[in-house]
Amino acid sequence: MSRDAFRHGASAALIVLILLTLAWELWLAPLRAGGSFLAFKALLLLLPLRGILAGRLYTYQWSSMFILGFFTEGVMRGWADHGLAQRLAWAEILISGVFFACVLGYARSFKRRA
């Protein structure tokens, strides 16, 4: 795949993960009726967004480790939750995995040229 494909894939995955997190914690399956403070974790996902969209290599490097926290949360909630919350957790695992793969592919494309 090309560098641009990895960049677009990472950007799309991050935006979808932000939207999923907000919808999950505010409307679809919040921990408490009426929304949950866990929706604030979407703010954390905004930290790498600007650098990912701009294609900054350093952002891709540190966000590859950053996203593993969301992957881990998805695994834990996929294991412990039931119903819709469990399906949303599996979606979080899938999306964070796609983001991780795209970020690694993008960073690796720079290593080949060097």
Number of H helices, E strands in the chain: 5, 0
Q: Which domain holds residue 88?
A: 3-112
* Alpha carbon of residue 56 to chain centroid: 17
How many structural domains does the chain have? 1
Per-residue pLDDT of the chain (114 residues; tens, 9 = 90+): 899 999 999 999 999 999 999 999 999 999 888 778 888 999 999 999 999 999 999 999 999 999 999 999 999 999 999 999 999 999 999 999 999 999 999 999 987 655
